[in-house]
Amino acid sequence: MKDYYSILGIDQNAGESLIKSSYRKLAAIYHPDKADKNPENQDKFIDINEAYKTLSNEALRSAYDRELKEYTAFKNARQENKITPYRTRLRDGANINIIVDFTGDIEQMRQKNKNFKEDLEKTIDIERYIKCPSCNGEGKEKGTLSMVCSECRGSGKVKNKNSGIMESCRNCGGYGDIFLYKCNVCNGMARIKTSERVTLNFKLNELVDGVKNITLEDKGDAGVFGGKNGNLNVAVKIDDNVLRKINKTSNSFFSKFSFFKK
């Protein structure tokens, strides 16, 4: 990575006026019309222009400074043998807990004289995090290594300057290490949010107090960097009044159900 500050002969705290004056001085020396035909001088002039265009633009300079900081930390980490192929901290995915009202569905089935001894089915749409398909859940571009975060020195936490309380490091997201080149799809998170359709199957006599709890293992949010997936926990609810109507028309069958016993 080119060090634009060194190319212009200035430090990283240089202001706009110093950047401009250094550029003009060097451009005059290495300009193709004034410099000799030495290829090295021509390349130097190209670098000078490239450095000036970047450092004279506030947005470009800010982005460059962040990348330079990570690159410098990466070089230091390599020298200190503090780089690894993968992140050292894993995170388990969260469980997803939702409630599904099946009252309208069961009421329509009752009006159509549905045989309630059969399995009931409900299809729902959920949003969950899945492993990023672009980086295969690694959060980084192929060939990029993980290095110790220069802000928290690998602890994942930093002290708040105002409160003095330890909090998650913003530079590395609390992982303790960073990627020089993140995956451009998941931005280093190793997972993306997507919508999925899930089918629930259950029997009416499995409800307790009008509720059927269903757990689908590994169907919650995806874990990252080796962490486990969470579960999808669904509570299927049916209104008691509708259940009583069903019981009234199918008394012989439903008399054994626990939620109708007194």
Higher pLDDT residue, 257 or 162? 162
Which pLDDT value is given to residue 233? Answer: 97
Task: Using the CB atoms, write b or e for 168-194: b if 16+ within 10 Å.
Answer: ebebbbbbbbbbbebbeebebbbbbee
Helix (H) or strand (E) holding 211: strand 211-216
Look at residue 195 and give its three-state secondary structure: strand
Contacts for 159 with CB less than 8 Å, ≥ 6 apart: 165, 166, 167
Higher pLDDT residue, 80 or 155? 155
Highest mean pLDDT among 77-91, 101-115, 118-132, 171-185: 118-132
Q: How far apart are the C-alpha atoms of 232 and 127, rounded to whole Å? A: 11
Contacts for 113 with CB less than 8 Å, ≥ 6 apart: none
Q: How far apart are the C-alpha atoms of 239 and 107, rounded to whole Å? A: 10
Question: Does residue 172 register a pLDDT over 90?
Answer: no
Higher pLDDT residue, 237 or 181? 237
Q: Which residue has tokens 């706009």?
A: 16
Question: Does residue 83 register a pLDDT over 50?
Answer: no
Which pLDDT value is given to residue 115? Answer: 65
Question: Does residue 253 register a pLDDT over 70?
Answer: no
Give the type of residue at 59.
Answer: A
Paired sense of beta strands 157-159 and 166-168, if any: antiparallel
Q: Which of 61-65, 85-89, 141-145 has the lowest mean pLDDT?
A: 85-89
pLDDT tier, 256 (very low <50, low <70, confident <90, very high otherwise): very low
Q: Kindly write down the DSSP assignment for every residue of 110-164, as one continuous string.
A: HHTT--TTSPEEEEEEEEEEEE-TTTTTS-B-TTPPEEE-TTTTTSSEEE-TTT-
Spell out the domain ranges in the chain: 4-56, 96-133+192-260
Q: Comparing C-alpha atoms, which of 177, 153, 174, 168 is closest to residue 86?
A: 177
Give the type of residue at 235.
Answer: A
The mean of the pLDDT values for the chain is 83
- Per cent of the chain over pLDDT 90 is 35
13-66 tens-digit pLDDT = 889 999 999 999 888 888 877 655 666 778 888 999 999 999 999 999 999 998
176-199 tens-digit pLDDT = 888 877 899 998 889 999 999 999
Longest Cα–Cα distance in the chain: 104
Which pLDDT value is given to residue 118? Answer: 66
Paired sense of beta strands 96-101 and 232-237, if any: parallel
Which pLDDT value is given to residue 28? Answer: 85
Question: Does residue 170 register a pLDDT over 60?
Answer: yes
- Supply angle C-alpha 193, 198, 201, rounded to 5: 155
Residue 199's DSSP bridge partners are 123
- Chain center to CA of 228: 15
Q: Which CATH architecture has domain 4-56?
A: Orthogonal Bundle (1.10)
- The Cα-based distances of 36 to 22, 31, 67 in angstroms read 20, 9, 34
Which pLDDT value is given to residue 55? Answer: 95
Higher pLDDT residue, 174 or 252? 174
Look at residue 171 and give its three-state secondary structure: coil
Please give the CATH number for the structural domain made up of 96-133+192-260.
2.60.260.20
64-82 tens-digit pLDDT = 998 888 777 666 655 554 5
CB 98 within 8 A of CB 234: yes
